[in-house]
Structure 1
Amino acid sequence: MAEPMSATPSTGRHRAWFTTAEVCEWLGISRETLRQLRLRGVLQPGKHFRRWGCTQGKGPLQWHLENVEATITGWSRRHLRQ
């Protein structure tokens, strides 16, 4: 799988926040899994996700890819042991 675009073309600065589709593709998880982790409090606002746009708190979510990946990896190791 290719790495998600992490640099903006005009500035060369690296992106930290990605769309739901990008995060799901990169991590190989479904939108529903991401949603459930958010609803269960595993992923927390400000650290793992934020809303964007002028939609009074109902806009689409952006995800901090590094924080989400680190948290899901740690959570999986603790909760999905075989």
Structure 2
Amino acid sequence: MDTTTTSTRQRVWVTTAEACELLGISRETLRQLRLRGVLQPGKHFRRWGCTEGKGPLQWHGENIEASITGWSRRHLKQ
């Protein structure tokens, strides 16, 4: 069994690089989704490592994927 894959799956909150790889999107796309309010603090991302709100972000990949899918369906209808 691949322990790298297993450990990544067990971790709910991941780094920005890991989230981008998991979701197949760029850092800028992730940033824009956060700034536009598509991704919400606490549900999709959180800051860690600093109590002043300036620490690096961690991301909840499953919640992001579900929200992006729902957002896309609502906003990209033809």
Question: TM-score range, shorter-chain basis?
Answer: 0.7 to 0.9
* Aligned residue number for residue 66 of structure 1: 62
Structure 1 runs of 4+ off > 4 angstroms? none
* Aligned residue number for residue 42 of structure 2: 46
* Aligned residue number for residue 79 of structure 1: 75
Aligned CA distance change for structure 1 residues 17 and 56 (closer, same or farther; 3 Å): same
Percentage of pairs with the same residue = 81
Distance in 1, matches of 2:43 and 2:30, equals: 14
* Aligned residue number for residue 7 of structure 1: 7
Alignment length (residue pairs):
75
- Which one-letter code corresponds to 1:63 in the other structure? W
> Which ranges of structure 2 fall in alignment gaps of 5 or more residues?
none
| Superposed CA RMSD | 2.0
* Aligned residue number for residue 22 of structure 1: 18
* Aligned residue number for residue 33 of structure 1: 29
- Report the TM-score, using the length of structure 1 for normalisation: 0.80
- Which one-letter code corresponds to 1:56 in the other structure? E
Higher relative contact order (CA closer than 8 Å, sequence separation 6+): 2
> Which ranges of structure 1 fall in alignment gaps of 5 or more residues?
none
